[in-house]
């Protein structure tokens, strides 16, 4: 089963990215399930709107889509409440976007959200790679403070913080690498060597990444069949505590 | 005639632990991918205080196919003789432009020590290409200030802002008429945004090849496929890979 660990639906740079476009890319690429994030506006300020929109889409395509919940940590208790509501309504993971949401991962305001993730047993995807707010070592520091929460290093620090990804992954056992925008013999292989095959996740970052291209490159990762199955879906399914599809090794 | 405007020559000194590859090997890959001309950017020269030896090596490497491998040089931003090296590169070595990488070379694009270098490049009519897309020394609008200060000097944003600052690159190209965008190492969405919103006559493409030579340079193949699969109208595609780079690299009369 191929699982794309991070895509976005909604309005991106003034372009409306429709679910039909996503499903079409998934069919062309051969992706079974995609975990969908709210769009930038919904990520920054309109959380409930984003969750309701995506959870409704998930109702329509329950076998193809899963949903990230996100909330701005500056909202304090109401952020936690909205995340809790979205997770109860069917969201499967939390996403944080330090630069869109205006915080550094090491700031105490993030802690209540991480405590919720720990209590709920869900992973947290954190966008990374954009200083001053989302460097890989900041994300790793957050992961270190919450060792029971799987933290996904979104975009693996790319572009120019990609060299931080491997040492961060090596030192933080609950930090997960991300294949998005990477290449099999360079960044992907480096992340794989640092994290091992159980802590690297395929994501296309659609619509920023082209899903067919991203998956084609991830499939070329120099790894054995079992490791590749983990990277392309097995690892994330385990994090989401989903059961493997019938006939799939998981 | 298809142009790739952002390719790296190999390191002779094992920089980044990358293996050396001969020009013939890269030319064979260009043939496979139907690329006729590659702009070859210096690599070792960005790391060493006196890049003149690297400039010689770049030209030597490109001499395997002078009509297909276009050499760009670099100079040390704080070397008082840097402008003279610009002249030597263009007049003696036949170089066609210069590459600067502010964070690797540790300078601000507007550092006064660079003024004679920019002035000489403008006099000689050769473009400068910058690494861009990464703060604190290489944001597109920082780099574009070089074009603002030196009207007539062609300034190429070598990465079109990379994955997070492509919006800045578009803004810079719209604002300054001598700013060009080279779409290198961008994600698909950023390339679409640039093509839709930046001046089309000043967009070129680069594979960023040479820095991932493994497996017969498959990286270059991936990058070209990303461009081809954007589904651009044929006239737009040809402007980006043919017409625009031909104008960009035209040998000026003053040389």
How much is the average pLDDT of B214-236? 94
Q: Is A144 left (phi over 0), alpha (psi -120 to 50) or beta?
A: alpha
Identity of the residue in B135, B167, B188 whose CB atom sits nearest the CB atom of A210:
B188
A23 CB contacts (<8 Å, ≥6 apart)?
A61, A64
How much is the average pLDDT of B104-127? 96
How much is the average pLDDT of A147-170? 96
pLDDT value of residue A243: 45
Flag whether pLDDT at B165 surpasses 90.
yes
pLDDT value of residue B214: 81
Q: Number of residue pairs across A and B with CB atoms under 8 Å?
A: 57
Residue A212: list chain B partners with CB under 8 A.
Answer: 229
Q: How confident is the model at residue B17 (pLDDT cuts 50, 70, 90)?
A: confident
Q: Does B116 touch chain A (CB under 8 A)?
A: no
Chain B closest-CA separation from residue A206 CA (Å) = 9
Q: DSSP secondary-structure letter at A135?
A: -
Mean pLDDT across chain A: 95
pLDDT value of residue A242: 55
pLDDT value of residue B254: 53
Contact A207 B189 (CB under 8 A): yes
Flag whether pLDDT at B83 surpasses 90.
yes
Contact A205 B187 (CB under 8 A): yes
Q: How confident is the model at residue A241 (pLDDT cuts 50, 70, 90)?
A: confident
Q: Does B214 touch chain A (CB under 8 A)?
A: yes
DSSP string computed for A72-125: -GGGTHHHHHHHHHHHHTT--EEEE-HHHHT--TTSGGGHHHHHHHHHHT--EE
pLDDT value of residue A229: 98
Contact B187 A185 (CB under 8 A): no
Flag whether pLDDT at A215 surpasses 80.
yes
Contact B189 A13 (CB under 8 A): yes
DSSP string computed for A168-180: HHHH-TTEEEE-T
How much is the average pLDDT of A154-180? 96
How much is the average pLDDT of B167-181? 97
Contact B163 A12 (CB under 8 A): no
pTM given for the model: 0.92
Identity of the residue in A186, A210, A220 whose CB atom sits nearest the CB atom of B226:
A210
Bridge partners of A180, per DSSP, are none
Contact B163 A183 (CB under 8 A): no
Q: How confident is the model at residue B201 (pLDDT cuts 50, 70, 90)?
A: very high
Mean pLDDT across chain B: 95
Residue A213: list chain B partners with CB under 8 A.
Answer: 188, 222, 225-226, 229
**Positive or negative, the Cα torsion across A218, A223, A229, A231?**
negative
pLDDT value of residue A244: 43
How much is the average pLDDT of A39-59? 98
């Amino acid at each position: 089963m191929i699982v794309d660990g991070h895509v976005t639906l909604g309005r991106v740079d003034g372009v409306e990215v429709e679910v039909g476009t996503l499903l079409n890319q998934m069919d062309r690429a051969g992706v079974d399930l995609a975990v969908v994030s709210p769009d930038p506006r919904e990520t920054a300020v309109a959380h409930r709107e984003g969750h309701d929109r995506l959870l409704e889409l998930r109702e329509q395509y329950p076998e193809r889509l899963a949903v990230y919940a996100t909330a701005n940590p500056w909202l304090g208790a109401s952020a936690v409440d909205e995340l809790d509501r979205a997770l109860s309504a069917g969201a499967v993971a939390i996403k944080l976007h330090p630069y869109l949401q205006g915080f550094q991962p090491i700031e105490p305001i993030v802690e209540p959200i991480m405590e919720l993730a720990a209590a709920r047993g869900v992973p947290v995807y954190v966008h990374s790679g954009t200083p001053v707010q989302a460097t890989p070592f900041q994300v790793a520091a957050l992961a270190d403070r919450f060792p029971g929460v799987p933290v996904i290093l979104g975009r693996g620090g790319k572009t120019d913080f990609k060299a931080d990804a491997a040492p961060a992954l090596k030192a933080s056992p609950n930090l997960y690498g991300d294949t998005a925008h990477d290449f099999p013999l360079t960044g992907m292989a480096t992340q794989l060597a640092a994290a091992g095959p159980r802590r690297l996740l395929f994501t296309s970052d659609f619509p920023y990444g082209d899903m067919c291209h991203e998956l084609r490159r991830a499939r070329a990762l120099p790894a054995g069949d079992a490791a590749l199955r983990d990277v392309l879906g097995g690892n994330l399914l385990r994090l989401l505590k989903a059961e493997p599809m019938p006939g799939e090794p998981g | 005639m298809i142009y790739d405007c952002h390719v790296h020559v190999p390191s002779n000194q094992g920089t980044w632990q990358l293996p050396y590859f001969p020009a013939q090997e890269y030319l064979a890959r260009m043939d496979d991918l139907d690329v006729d001309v590659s702009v070859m950017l210096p690599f070792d020269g960005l790391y060493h205080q006196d890049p003149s030896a690297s400039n010689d090596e770049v030209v030597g490497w490109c001499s395997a196919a002078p009509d297909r491998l276009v050499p760009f040089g670099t100079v040390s931003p704080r070397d008082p003789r840097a402008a003279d090296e610009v002249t030597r590169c263009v007049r003696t070595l036949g170089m066609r432009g210069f590459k600067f990488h502010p964070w690797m070379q540790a300078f601000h694009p507007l550092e006064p020590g660079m003024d004679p270098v920019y002035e000489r490049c403008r006099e000689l009519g050769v473009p400068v290409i910058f690494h861009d897309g990464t703060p604190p020394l290489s944001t597109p609008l920082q780099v574009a200030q070089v074009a603002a200060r030196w009207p007539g000097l062609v300034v190429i944003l070598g990465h079109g802002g990379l994955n997070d600052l492509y919006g800045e690159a578009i803004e810079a190209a719209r604002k300054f008429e001598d700013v060009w965008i080279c779409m290198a190492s961008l994600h698909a969405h950023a390339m679409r945004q640039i093509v839709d919103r930046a001046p089309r006559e000043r967009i070129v493409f680069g594979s960023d090849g040479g820095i991932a030579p493994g497996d017969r340079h498959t990286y270059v193949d991936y990058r070209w496929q990303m461009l081809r699969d954007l589904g651009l109208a044929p006239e737009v595609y040809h402007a980006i890979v043919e017409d625009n780079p031909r104008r960009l690299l035209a040998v000026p009369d003053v040389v």
